[in-house]
């Protein structure tokens, strides 16, 4: 389907001639927002297994990759996605050992690292860049919102200038940056969504992952939801806000995702998030009906920068 935004699949077919499949990996990491370094408990929507409820942490990294490869078409190409928790939160030698463990097969063409901006320093950026001799490397950063009050409300654990510095440092090493953004965070409005998109447009980011906030069992957000302190947005609101975000987004940015996943046994609400195809179909149809495409209302603004002497040290 010819979508009205720049999709990850179209980018991958341009680069590799085929759609790449993703192997989600639990690398055995934790998070500085859970172990007391910058906070405890994690973000309010984060469960004890973060985004890796479906992963098997008892398997080694190599075994996780082998299990995926063994079941698949031998001609398929792959993305090794270190998904769970903060995958640059360890000493460089530990990081190298774990990344190397996933890259034993030439069919793996992309090393994709999910992490936090406050867990990026120059040593880690240089290490990640060194893998470009073997494969493409992506770095995913969880911003969620550029509203500092929202960031405090969701217990994000860092300020926007930390994000700006991390992006600038990663781009100095020519590393593609993908940003996670959540629509429907507590207290946020459509204007907050627009402001976050404007904030991202002022950075050199390469990709974005958008999804609506959902409530997972055994989280702080679950307590808020069950006590009536938080009400998720409707599917209609999400579709409207997602379309608005896409029309304002720099047209060069690749849209990696417009939908979030949660195991049904862990999902408290809203139920509509499981209707992935309906959500994507509605966004596509409504944008086409309106004659909208990604970036049709995009306005270029000056880039954000932080001084070169600004630095963050990660001690392990």
pLDDT at 53 over 70: no
Q: What is the pLDDT of residues 93-147, one digit of tens each?
A: 999 999 999 999 999 999 999 999 999 999 999 999 999 999 999 999 999 999 9
Range in 39-43, 67-71, 204-208, 268-272 with the lowest mean pLDDT: 39-43
Question: Residue 95 to residues 40, 90, 245: CA-CA distances in angstroms?
Answer: 23, 6, 35
Q: What is the pLDDT of residues 233-264, one digit of tens each?
A: 999 999 999 999 999 999 999 999 999 988 89
- Residue 145 CA to residue 249 CA, distance in Å, equals 14
Domains of the chain, first to last: 8-290 (3.20.20.70)
Residues whose CB falls within 8 Å of the CB of residue 289, separated by 6 or more in sequence, listed in order: none
Phi first, then psi: give them for residue 91, nearest 5 degrees: -65, 150
Confidence of residue 301 (pLDDT cuts 50, 70, 90): confident
What's the pTM value of the predicted model, to 2 decimals? 0.93
Residues whose CB falls within 8 Å of the CB of residue 161, separated by 6 or more in sequence, listed in order: 306, 310
């Amino acid at each position: 389907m010819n979508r009205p935004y720049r999709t990850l699949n179209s980018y991958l077919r341009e680069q590799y001639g085929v759609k790449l499949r993703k192997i989600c990996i639990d690398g055995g990491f934790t998070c500085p927002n859970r172990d007391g370094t910058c906070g405890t408990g994690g973000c309010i929507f984060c469960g004890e297994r973060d985004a890796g409820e479906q992963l098997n942490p008892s398997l080694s990294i190599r075994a996780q990759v082998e299990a995926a490869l063994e079941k698949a078409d031998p001609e398929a190409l792959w993305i090794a996605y270190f998904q769970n928790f903060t995958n640059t939160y360890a000493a460089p030698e530990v990081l190298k050992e774990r990344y190397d463990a996933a890259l034993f097969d030439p069919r793996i063409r992309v090393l994709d690292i999910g992490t936090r901006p406050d867990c990026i320093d120059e040593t880690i950026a240089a290490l990640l860049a060194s893998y470009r001799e073997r494969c493409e490397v992506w770095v995913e950063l969880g911003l969620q919102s550029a509203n500092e009050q929202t960031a405090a409300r969701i217990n994000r654990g860092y300020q926007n200038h930390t994000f700006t510095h991390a992006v600038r440092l990663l781009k100095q090493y020519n590393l593609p940056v993908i940003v996670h953004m959540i629509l429907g965070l507590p207290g946020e409005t459509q204007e907050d969504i627009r402001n976050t998109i404007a904030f991202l447009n002022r950075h050199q980011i390469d990709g974005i992952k958008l999804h609506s906030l959902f409530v997972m069992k055994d989280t702080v957000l679950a307590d808020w939801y069950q006590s009536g302190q938080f009400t998720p947005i409707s599917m209609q609101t999400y579709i409207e806000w997602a379309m608005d975000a896409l029309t304002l987004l720099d047209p060069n940015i690749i849209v990696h995702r417009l939908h979030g996943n949660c195991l049904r046994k862990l999902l408290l609400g809203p139920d509509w998030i499981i209707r992935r195809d309906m959500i994507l179909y509605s966004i596509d149809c409504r944008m086409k009906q309106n004659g909208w495409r990604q970036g049709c209302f995009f306005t270029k603004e000056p880039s954000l920068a932080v001084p070169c002497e600004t630095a963050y040290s990660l001690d392990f």
